[in-house]
């Protein structure tokens, strides 16, 4: 816990993510990454020199049988206001449009709904659970499938909404986050998406598993190159 908080604090300081008086909406999908982000930020409220408030927001995609009761109980335990909003995104993706590669459109729809809810609930910042490996995968997805050099930045200001998106887990790899979620017994929900495990992002994950057989440090090398070339320039 202390190690992850220390790395998150370094990211917050490096990119000046949080200022005194901030009201931050944590996008809570129910996956390990977003719940870990909420857990760490809630803990850091106790000792960071800047004072900030948290709200947790779940955009319910509309999958049949989705249940967020465990998430609600966890937020109540933390003393964090929990907001849910049901949408028809799942229906749009898999029935109306019958998308074969739904991830990009899904992300855009969820992000739009989350940002709108954050503003409506008085938050000026949104914290997402994107981490070290997400940055690498996003870069290669953009390179391979969009023919462009792109990666999300640790801090993004959306001028049309007057909203700032922050990614406090940017320096944390996925495996430590998974261990953290398990050790803390966080209420991680099963991903009900039919495309889960069969996406272009999964292909990139498997590609790096193969590359690591030749160079165990390749993720760190790629991340450092992205950080030097893209991340620091987009803040």
Phi-psi region of 82 (alpha: psi -120 to 50; beta: other; left: phi over 0): beta
Domains of the chain: 2-233 (3.40.50.620)
80 has a pLDDT exceeding 90: yes
Closest C-alpha among 58, 12, 4 to residue 184: 4
pLDDT, one tens digit per residue, over 159-169 is 999 999 999 99
Contacts 24+ apart (CB under 8 A), 63-66: 63/90, 63/192, 63/193, 64/192, 65/192, 66/192
195 has a pLDDT exceeding 70: yes
Asked whether the CA dihedral 203, 148, 34, 63 is positive or negative, the reply is negative
Position 2 scores a pLDDT of 57
Position 232 scores a pLDDT of 73
pTM comes to 0.93
pLDDT, one tens digit per residue, over 96-118 is 787 777 888 888 999 999 999 99
Give the C-alpha separation, 24 to 26, whole Å: 6
Position 1 scores a pLDDT of 53
What percent of the chain clears pLDDT 70, i.e. is strictly above it? 97
Provide DSSP, 55-124.
EEEEEE---TT---HHHHHHHHHHT-EEEEEE--HHHIIIIIS--SS-HHHHHHHHHHHHHHHHHHTT-S
235 has a pLDDT exceeding 60: no
Strands 125-127 and 163-166, sheet pairing: parallel
> Quick one: pLDDT band at residue 234, thresholds 50, 70, 90?
low
Distance of CA 65 to the CA centre of its chain: 23
What percent of the chain clears pLDDT 90, i.e. is strictly above it? 79
Higher-confidence position of 1 and 182 = 182
Q: Token pair of 24, please? A: 């931050």
Position 32 scores a pLDDT of 97
Average of per-residue pLDDT values in the chain? 92
Provide DSSP, 148-201.
S-----SEEEETTTTEEEE-TTTT--HHHHHHHHHHTT--PPP---TTTTSSHH
Segment 49-65 mean pLDDT: 93
**Which single residue is written with the structure tokens 């995104």?**
89
Higher-confidence position of 48 and 97 = 48
Element (H, E) at 125: strand 125-127
pLDDT, one tens digit per residue, over 168-181 is 999 999 999 999 99
């Amino acid at each position: 816990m202390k190690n992850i908080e220390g790395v998150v604090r370094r990211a917050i300081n490096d990119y000046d993510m949080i200022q005194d008086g901030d009201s931050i909406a944590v996008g809570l999908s129910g996956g390990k990454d977003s719940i870990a982000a909420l857990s760490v930020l809630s803990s850091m409220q106790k000792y960071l020199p800047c004072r900030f408030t948290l709200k947790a927001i779940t955009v319910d995609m509309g999958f049949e049988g989705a249940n967020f009761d465990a998430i609600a109980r966890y937020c109540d335990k933390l003393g964090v206001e929990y907001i849910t909003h049901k949408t028809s995104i799942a229906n749009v993706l898999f029935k109306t449009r019958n998308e074969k590669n739904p991830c990009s459109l899904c992300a855009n729809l969820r992000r739009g709904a989350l940002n709108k809810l954050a503003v409506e609930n008085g938050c000026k910042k949104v914290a997402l659970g994107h981490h070290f490996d997400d940055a690498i995968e996003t870069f290669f997805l953009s390179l391979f499938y969009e023919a462009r050099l792109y990666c999300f930045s640790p801090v993004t200001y959306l001028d049309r909404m007057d909203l700032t998106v922050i990614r406090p887990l940017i320096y944390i790899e996925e495996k430590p986050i998974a261990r953290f979620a398990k050790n803390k017994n966080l209420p991680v929900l099963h991903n009900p998406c039919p495309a889960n495990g069969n996406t272009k992002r999964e292909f990139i994950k498997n590609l790096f598993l193969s590359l690591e057989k030749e160079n165990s440090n390749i993720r760190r090398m790629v991340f450092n190159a992205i950080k030097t070339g893209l991340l620091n320039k987009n803040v």
